[in-house]
Amino acid sequence: MSTCGLPPYGVAMQAITRFGPILMSMGTESQRRQFLPGMISGDQVWCQGYSEPNAGSDLASLQTRAVLEGDHFVVNGQKVWTSHAHYSDFQVLLVRTDPDAPKHRGITYLLVDMHSPGITIRPLIQATGEHGFNEVFYDNVQVPRENVVGEINEGWKVTVANLMYERTSIAAVTPVERSVDELIKLLRAVQFEGMPATRHPYVRQKVAQFASEARCMRFGRYRALTSQMRGHVPGPESSFGKLFGTELNLRIAMFADEVLGPYAQLEHGSPAAVQDGLWVYRLFFSRAMVIGGGTNEIQRNIIGERVLRLPKG
């Protein structure tokens, strides 16, 4: 376990919901024996080395290099927006191993020990004031060849599957039903347009809409879970859950902001803050979630092109 402090609740979920399924379906037997027990127990915390300063939504443009020297790769480059890197023991890392190949080829998916010499982690502080993201720098970091998942230069196939698991997991953990419950608790404590908020017809209609959509979200999660239990790797349909869940959560936070009016600007610690500034935090965090796992604009492109078969714009 990382010795740099106790990680926040849920950090180990990345391994359980994304990387574990990848190893089960695409890893070697040796990799499964080595890494799955620690993922399941939570003794190993994992992070994901995907985005770079010049390769975000266009992930295949990544430039972090790995050169095979004997039985090790030597990695040099930089990743950014790496969630929980400062707590992590291992990382799944995308590297370019053939710079002359088309950008969706020549990419390799590696498993990296985050305690390896040459790795430097720098914090990025979010709008919420939390330290969840990091920059990670690699200076001649050695990674054993046997830590390749899939084939060398064919890591994009693994990457796409990983992204599908990620989007499915984001949809699964986005707390839409909890947000509805907390919104109702808020509405019971405040007034809106001169009357108790829970009696206002506009407010009641919005809450009914949110509650209905949250229940639909639950059934969509059940459907995705059933598919995975049958051994299927999530496909483009995972974009639906990620898109719908994160935008619903954002709309709930924005409605709370509307109801609170000027009090919506008061943060944690302010004497007049309603529910200790919970909804200020929720609004910032909800906006972050529409970016994580591939922006929602990208999800719309995926749905349009791969599900609806619409022509590319």
* Three-state secondary-structure class, residue 12: coil
Check residue 201 and give its pLDDT.
98
For 59-75, give the DSSP string. GGG---EEEEETTEEEE
Domains detected in the chain: 13-153 (2.40.110.10), 174-307 (1.20.140.10)
Indicate the pTM of the whole model: 0.76
Report residue 278 CA to chain centroid gap.
21
Per-residue pLDDT at 57 exceeds 90: no
Assess contact for 79 and 52: CB atoms under 8 A: yes
Average confidence (pLDDT) over 41-49: 92
Q: Which of 52, 166, 237, 247 is catalytic?
A: 166
Annotated catalytic, 247?
Answer: no
Check residue 171 and give its pLDDT.
64
Average confidence (pLDDT) over 244-254: 93
102: alpha, beta or left, given left = phi > 0 and alpha = psi -120 to 50?
Answer: beta
Cβ within 8 Å of residue 205, ≥6 positions away: none
Strands (DSSP E) contained in 11-147 are 46-49, 65-69, 72-79, 90-96, 107-113, 119-125, 131-144
Write out pLDDT tens, residues 110-169.
999 999 999 999 999 877 777 888 999 999 999 999 999 999 999 999 998 888 888 777
Write out pLDDT tens, residues 280-313.
888 888 888 888 777 889 889 988 988 888 988 6
